Chain A
Amino acid sequence: MKHWLTTTVVASALALAFGMASATAQETLDPKAKQGGAITITYKDDVATLDPAIGYDWQNWSMIKSLFDGLMDYEPGTTNLRPELAESYEIAPDGKTFTFKLRSGVKFHNGREMTADDVKYSLDRVTNPKTQSPGAGFFASIAGYDDVAGGKSESLTGVTVVDPSTVKIELSRPDATFLHVMAINFSHVVPKEEVEKHGADFGKNPVGTGAYKMAEWTLGQRLVFERNADYWLKGLPYLDKITFEFGQEPIVALLRLQKGEVDVPGDGIPPAKFQEVMADPEQKSRVVEGGQLHTGYVTMNTTMAPFDNVKVRQAVNMAINKDRIVKLINNRAVPANQPLPPSMPGYDKNFKGYAFDVEKAKALLGEAGHPDGFETQLFAMNTDPNPRIAQAIQQDLAAIGIKASIQSLAQANVIAAGGEKNGAPMIWSGGMAWIADFPDPSNFYGPILGCGGAVQGGWNWSWYCNKDLDVKAAEADSIVDPAKADERHKMWSGIYGKIMEDAPWAPVFNEQRFTMKSPRMGGDDKLYVDPVHIPINYDYVYVNDVQ
Chain B
Amino acid sequence: MIAYLTRRLIQSALILLGVSLITFALLYLLPADPVRQIAGRSTTPQTVESIRQQLGLDQPFVIQYWRYLTNLVSGDLGRSYIQRSEVSELIVARLPASLLLMVGAIVCEVIIGLTMGLVAAVRRGTATDQALMVGSFVGVSAPQFVVGLLLLYVFAVRLGWFPIGGYGTWRHLVLPSLTLGILGAGWYSRMMRSSMIDVLRQDYIRTARAKGLARRAILFRHALPNAILPVVAMIGIDIGLFMGGIVVVESVFGWPGIGQLAWQAIQRVDIPIIMGVTLVSACAIVLGNLLADIVAPFIDPRIKLR
Contacts and interface: CB of A to CB of B under 8 A. Distances in A.
Interface in B252-296: 252-257, 260-261, 264, 266-269
B38 A134 contact: yes
A410 B264 CA distance: 12
Interface in A426-481: 437, 446-447, 455, 457, 459
Given A135-B42, A459-B41, A248 B165 contact: yes
Nearest to B42: A137
A151 interface: yes
A246 B84 CA distance: 17
A46 B39 CA distance: 20
Interface string B8-45: 00000000000000000000001111001111111111
Contacts of A247: 165, 250-251, 254-256, 260
B44 A410 contact: no
B269 A413 contact: yes
B48 interface: yes
B253 to A, nearest CB: 8
Contacts of B252: 249, 252
Contacts of A219: 85, 89-90, 93-94, 256
A447 B39 CA distance: 13
A416 B36 contact: yes
Interface string B58-79: 0000000000000000000001
A221 B252 CA distance: 14
A457 B269 contact: no
Nearest to A262: B164
A70 to B, nearest CB: 17
Interface string A227-254: 0000000000000000001111101100
A138 B42 contact: yes
A140 B39 contact: no
Nearest to B46: A149
A178 B189 CA distance: 69
A129 B39 CA distance: 10
Contacts of A151: 50
A56 interface: yes
Contacts of B30: 412-413
Contacts of B157: 255, 259
Nearest to B163: A261
A204 interface: yes
B158 to A, nearest CB: 10
Contact of B256 (A49, A220, A261, A446): A220
Nearest to A149: B46
B51 interface: yes
Contacts of A51: 84
Contact of A149 (B38, B40, B47, B83): B47
Interface residues of A, number: 54
A129 B93 contact: no
A526 to B, nearest CB: 27
Interface residues of B, number: 53
B152 A252 contact: yes
Interface in A195-220: 200-201, 203-204, 218-220
A21 interface: no
A268 interface: no
Interface string A129-166: 11011111110100000000111000000000000000
B240 interface: no
A246 B264 CA distance: 11
A132 B164 contact: no
B82 interface: yes
Interface in A240-284: 245-249, 251-252, 255-256, 259, 261
A201 B260 CA distance: 22
B164 A200 contact: no
B228 to A, nearest CB: 36
A411 B265 CA distance: 12
Interface in A178-208: 200-201, 203-204
Nearest to B269: A412
B45 A455 contact: yes
A394 B251 CA distance: 32
B166 interface: yes
Contact of A130 (B40, B44, B54, B93): B54
Given A249-B254, A261-B164, A220 B93 contact: yes
Contacts of B45: 455, 457
A459 B45 CA distance: 12
Given A219-B94, A256-B165, A413 B31 contact: yes
B32 to A, nearest CB: 3
A417 interface: yes
Contacts of A135: 40, 42
Contact of A447 (B37, B41, B85): B41
A134 B43 CA distance: 6
Interface in A500-525: none
A179 B90 CA distance: 38
Given A130-B54, A413-B30, A56 B40 contact: yes
B162 interface: no
A410 B267 contact: yes
B167 interface: yes
A457 B41 contact: no
B91 to A, nearest CB: 10
Interface of A: 45-46, 48-49, 51, 54, 56, 129-130, 132-138, 140, 149-151, 200-201, 203-204, 218-221, 245-249, 251-252, 255-256, 259, 261, 383, 410-413, 415-417, 419, 437, 446-447, 455, 457, 459
26 contacts: A45-B264, A46-B264, A129-B51, A132-B38, A132-B39, A132-B54, A136-B43, A203-B84, A203-B85, A218-B93, A219-B93, A219-B256, A220-B90, A221-B256, A245-B166, A249-B251, A252-B253, A383-B267, A410-B266, A411-B269, A412-B32, A412-B268, A413-B30, A413-B269, A457-B45, A457-B48
Given A129-B54, A132-B54, A219-B94, 11 more contacts: A48-B84, A49-B85, A56-B40, A130-B54, A132-B39, A149-B46, A220-B260, A413-B32, A415-B32, A416-B33, A419-B33
* Closest 8 pairs (CB-CB, A-B): A134-B40, A412-B32, A412-B269, A129-B50, A219-B93, A220-B256, A247-B254, A416-B31
